[in-house]
Structure 1
Amino acid sequence: MSSSMPSLPRFVVWAPDYTDDGALQRRLAVRPSHLENIQALTRQGILRVGGAFMTPESVDPAVTNKAFVGSCMIFEAENIDIVRKLVEADIYYKSEVWDKDRLVILPIALATGLPPIPS
Structure 2
Amino acid sequence: MPQFLILAKDYTDAYALQRRLSVRETHLKRMRVEKAEGHFIVGGAKLNKEGNMYGSMLVVQLENEEAVRQWINEDPYITGNVWEHVEILPFKIAEV
Amino acid at match of 1:78: E
**CA RMSD of the aligned region, Å?**
1.2
Match of 1:89 in 2: 74
Match of 1:22 in 2: 15
Q: Which structure has the bigger radius of gyration? A: 1
Match of 1:63 in 2: none
Residue 11 (structure 1) aligned to one of 4, 22, 38: 4
Aligned partner of residue 44 in structure 2, secondary structure? strand
Is 1:98 equivalent to 2:83 in the alignment?
Answer: yes
Q: How far did residue 112 of structure 1 move?
A: 4.5
The whole-number CA distance in structure 2 between the counterparts of 1:82 and 1:48 is 15
TM-score (norm 1): 0.76
TM-score (norm 2): 0.93
Amino acid at match of 1:36: K
The whole-number CA distance in structure 2 between the counterparts of 1:81 and 1:28 is 28
> Any gaps of 5 or more consecutive residues in structure 1?
1-7, 59-66, 114-119
* Structure with the higher fraction of residues in strand conformation: 2
Once the two structures are superposed, residues 46-73 of structure 1 have per-residue CA deviations (whole angstroms, 9 ceiling, x without a partner) of 0000111101342xxxxxxxx1110110
Aligned partner of residue 83 in structure 2, secondary structure? coil
Residue 52 (structure 1) aligned to one of 45, 52, 59: 45
> Any gaps of 5 or more consecutive residues in structure 2?
none
Percent of matched pairs sharing the same residue? 39
Match of 1:110 in 2: 93
Once the two structures are superposed, residues 16-38 of structure 1 have per-residue CA deviations (whole angstroms, 9 ceiling, x without a partner) of 11110000000011111111111
Residue 76 (structure 1) aligned to one of 61, 70, 74: 61
